[in-house]
């Protein structure tokens, strides 16, 4: 359940904020990310994030309407950091790059499963600000993977990206919540790429 807003400006877009407010907001997001790297989401209190960021609790609520809103922003930041590394690493054939990219995504969640748990938990958020950022997170992930499948052509690339994410989410749920070995997640993801290998070369 979300810790609800205590302020009136937390639904405002970051667009139009002065640089000092953007920097403060970023500091809050980085504090939230740092805390999630070391503990589970349900053990983090919103006041812990404020303390980590060096801001008053009321100040935090000027930027985020709830804990869920904040952690949707944290997910966006975490995924953006991963995509930056992927762009730098892009080389070789589309198939080779895609295998590396998918393994990187799975490995990131394997190393920090709490980020996957937050993503799943936020799916049921009733906070419209959290829902908007989570939609942005999902869209960015989809667009990025469509680009990796681009050699298949627009329609097939979109379909392949949708199916690939469905496989990843399904298998990660089995691994993180039901004890299936992570090796199975890699195996099934690689198997899907195998089906498209001839067209990716």
Domains and CATH numbers, the chain: 12-64 (1.10.10.60), 67-199 (1.10.357.10)
pLDDT tens across 104-114, in order?
999 999 999 99
pLDDT tens across 11-60, in order?
456 778 899 999 999 999 999 999 999 999 999 999 999 999 999 999 99
pLDDT at 72 over 50: yes
- Percent of the chain exceeding pLDDT 70 equals 89
Q: Which residues contact 190 (CB under 8 A, 6 or more apart)?
A: 99, 102
pLDDT at 9 over 50: no
What is the predicted pLDDT for the residue at 145? Answer: 93
Residue 82 binned pLDDT confidence (cut-offs 50, 70, 90): confident
Nearest-angstrom CA–CA distance, 178 and 172: 9
């Amino acid at each position: 359940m979300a810790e609800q807003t205590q302020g009136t400006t937390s639904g405002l877009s970051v667009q139009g904020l002065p640089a000092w407010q953007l920097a403060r907001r970023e500091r809050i997001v980085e504090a939230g990310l740092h805390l999630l790297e070391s503990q589970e989401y349900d053990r983090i209190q919103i006041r812990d994030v404020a303390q980590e960021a060096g801001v008053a609790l009321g100040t935090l609520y000027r930027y985020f309407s709830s804990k869920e809103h904040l952690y949707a922003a944290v997910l966006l930041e975490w995924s953006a950091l991963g995509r930056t590394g992927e762009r730098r690493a892009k080389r070789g054939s589309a198939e080779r790059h895609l295998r590396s990219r998918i393994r990187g995504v799975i490995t990131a969640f394997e190393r920090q499963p709490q980020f996957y748990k937050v993503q799943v938990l936020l799916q049921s958020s009733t906070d419209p600000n959290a829902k908007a950022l989570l939609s942005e997170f999902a869209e960015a992930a989809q667009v990025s993977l469509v680009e990796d499948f681009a050699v298949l052509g627009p329609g097939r690339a979109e379909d392949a990206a949708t199916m690939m994410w469905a496989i990843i989410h399904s298998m990660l749920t089995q691994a993180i919540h039901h004890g299936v070995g992570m090796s199975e997640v890699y195996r099934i993801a690689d198997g899907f790429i195998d089906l498209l290998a001839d067209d990716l070369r």
